Chain A
Amino acid sequence: MALAPKKNKLSLWQRIRQNSLAYKFIAPTFVAMMVVHLIPIVQGLYLSLLDVRLTTLTLYLRAPFVGLKYYIEVFNAIFGLGEAGASSRVTGLINAASNTLVYTIWTNIGTLGLGLILAMLLNREFRWRGIARTLVLLPWVVPTFVTGTIFNFIWLEQGGLANKILLGLNIVDTPITWLIGPNSLYALVIATVWRGLPFTTIMFLAAIQVIPTDLYEAASLDGANGWQRFRHITLPLIKPIAGTQVLFGLINGFYGGYNIAVQMFGGGTGFAGEYADLLVPAITRQTWERHLYGFGSAASVILMGMLLVFVGIWYRAFRDSLRAE
């Protein structure tokens, strides 16, 4: 709503009447979206207040009401508070939360940084540019489950592609263990960046392509060097796109990683180990395997709340560049 032009002083109802045909077209979609989005969200919120477990699952929304019990439990588990901190029946959430934060930061740095560099390279005139642009898109069409499986083989300590390259180029002397131990989080980050890179690259490329070339020419005439042209022309003009990318990155970081983690580690069990366990895999695993459905709903609502805080911060940071459109 905040994106609406300021000039328009008509009320919502007046605008609907003025554009009634358009609204009639939108109406079915609007209602359908309400049905498929709003009802499950409300059900999820209500479920988080109920004691839905294995034995009460068939009662579903008629399960006993427990109020905020699960919220308190999840808060304690995430923030290590209270008696039910480290060893309650919901374990490892604090660890998963901190992994998720590191994962989100690194995947964003990776996809945005590399995406921008790739986009600028692909914007230059060179032979085979068309082929290069197509190749960059390839990881995008690989399903995330397949990405996880492929990277499981790439990271193998013995015979894995990553170690073969690193050893072949003499970057390391002994093969690196990726799939177990502390490196597993970075194995997950790199796989995620590989999968996410085409999207950011294409978005940045589209943004760079619409920048008028005469701006660069004028700057060159004034004696601006490459860095200055990038700093004062490219960067400000791609800021709105960058803002959107950061938002996608935040959401993907918080909610993402599931498919790749499940296939890359644990052979499908969803447990990537303490070093690489993320919030969504942890909540999914504990909800379904431990049959703590009410708890799972509460944890998801809290995760949504945490993400909203970050989206709020994001909105503050990028508000101006979004309005500039």
Chain B
Amino acid sequence: MQRSRRPFITWLSLLTLISMILVACGGAETAPTATTAPAATATTAAQVEPTAADAPTEVAATAEPATAEPAGGDVVTLKLWHMPNGAAPADAIQAEIDAFEKANPGINVEPEMLDWGAAFQRIQTSVQGGEGPCLTQLGTTWNPTFAAMGGLRPFTAEEITAMGGSDSFVAASWATSQLQGMEGTFSIPWFADVRALAYRKDLLEKAGLKPEEAFKDWTSFKATLATIQEQNPDVAGIAFPGRNDWNVWQNSSMWIWNSGGDLLSSDLSEATFNSEAAVAGVSEFANLYSSKLTVTNTLELNSAQVDASFGDGRTFSAITGPWLISNARTAADAGGWANRTVADNLAYAEFPAGPGGSYTFVGGSNLAILKSCENADAAVKFVQFLAANESQLRYSQAIGMLPATKTAQADASIASDALYSVFISAAAKGKTSAPIAEWGQVESVLNEQLGSLWDDVATAGGPVSPEAVKTRLDQAAQTVNELLGN
């Protein structure tokens, strides 16, 4: 008995082994083919029958022309990668998908939510391997990187015209869809993340101050914070995230811009965030802490914790975004701030002007179609749906961001809202990251050095000297210049 089983086991082992090798090699073989597939192939594939998504191997074999419209009731499946936007991200995107699918019965959208921390690498891997979703959300600063890698399918002029043209989008948001040195629009702005100063209007009134005076410039702003703290011993002047956050460079950049500095030179070839004006701006920001105008532990907080300390009434003001509006208007049992003092007294102000003016950071997210997408026409339809007024208004309000189109921003539900209107005027003066492929590197270096600066500030036991700030920024500038090829 034992003898007769032996060959069987041997064969079984061999079979398993061979199948494993085949699977491993198969994966390795197909990947490069997809990577090197020229744009033309992708376009052809897009016009192939909608079932292509289900049976990708048949696509290459099918030579006969077909239309993008689903024939005979076939359904195109579009994969969408998105990140957790807003407090109920799955519900928010599903509402858009349901509305879209109702209007387009032949297209089926399958969403997959990626964590912000993992999304960049996932998208990069799919761009490199030529396999992934049709459509993906991109952080605005990621657009140039993936465009430079050749992973994104540019939108045609006709497609953009159908969405109202480039002028229908907020200028700072539209800028994030481009890549310096390369013609084309690689993604479409989806929603805008605009920063402003949230404050408590009851405390400002109590101090007898008017917002236009209180937040006019750096001097009046610091005086306001000091007055509020004096009158309300339990309330700190301001809270903002320190090193432990994604927004390290964004929060500092507003002080650089308002001080008259800029992040990169006008031809985007060189770092200028270590200029005299920039150093003055960052020092001003850093020393809010040493002047004891902040929540005592503000430097260790992340954005969510800053929002929480504002919500708990521990601070008079906070550097944050429009999402607090939905917090203030959501019932307490749904996790909102209703019935809290802060909910009735939430107000926003633009950042106090420095010697260089008043600017704010505009970020947000764009929608991009990957080059490997086989149903690009259907994907374009979905992007156009998301960029249309109805979806722009519904989705941005569901997630607590600002719509990316001017028409949606001008809608009465936003424009005549006292809270949202501050963001609309701030967005008009918005600045953002540079549309260069190397931006991710610039951002990484800035975050490291500015993050370490917060360590310096926390341990200094007094004001940080402009020289110390300059040392950090000089080091970052040297690294950035090297990365930019100078």
Contacts and interface: CB of A to CB of B under 8 A. Distances in A.
A180 interface: yes
A273 B6 CA distance: 60
Interface residues of B, number: 57
A156 interface: yes
A182 interface: yes
A298 B458 CA distance: 35
A175 to B, nearest CB: 8
B297 interface: yes
B40 interface: no
Contact of A35 (B20, B305, B478): B20
A111 interface: no
A179 B243 CA distance: 9
B458 A177 contact: yes
Interface string A80-92: 0000001111011
A191 to B, nearest CB: 14
Nearest to A39: B24
A54 B148 contact: yes
Interface residues of A, number: 49
Interface string A38-70: 010000000000000011011010000000000
B444 A273 contact: no
A12 to B, nearest CB: 19
Contacts of A92: 448
A54 B439 CA distance: 11
Contacts of B245: 266-267, 269
Interface string A180-204: 1110000000000000000000000
B471 to A, nearest CB: 11
Contact of B448 (A87, A157, A271): A271
Interface stretch (B214-222, B343-351, B449-457): B449-457
Given A87-B478, A271-B243, A181 B459 contact: yes
A115 to B, nearest CB: 30
A275 B455 contact: yes
Interface string B444-482: 110110011011001100000000000000010011001
B447 A269 contact: yes
B302 interface: yes
Contacts of A232: none
Given A31-B21, A262-B117, A57 B441 contact: no
Contacts of A60: 35, 128
Nearest to A158: B297
Interface string A236-266: 0000000000000000000000000010011
Contacts of B4: none
B20 A28 contact: yes
Given A54-B438, A89-B479, A268-B116, A177 B10 contact: no
A27 interface: yes
B139 interface: no
B17 A181 contact: no
A133 interface: no
Contacts of A157: 296-297, 300
A288 B121 contact: yes
Q: Which 7 A-B pairs have the closest CB atoms?
A: A289-B444, A157-B297, A179-B300, A267-B302, A268-B117, A290-B441, A89-B482
10 contacts: A28-B16, A60-B128, A88-B479, A158-B296, A179-B300, A265-B244, A266-B244, A268-B116, A273-B452, A291-B145
Interface of A: 21, 24-25, 27-28, 31-32, 35, 39, 54-55, 57-58, 60, 86-89, 91-92, 152, 155-158, 175, 177-182, 262, 265-271, 273-275, 285-286, 288-291
Interface of B: 6, 9-10, 13, 16-17, 20-21, 24, 35, 115-117, 120-121, 124, 127-128, 145, 148-150, 241-246, 248, 295-297, 299-300, 302-303, 305, 437-438, 440-441, 443-445, 447-448, 451-452, 454-455, 458-459, 475, 478-479, 482-483
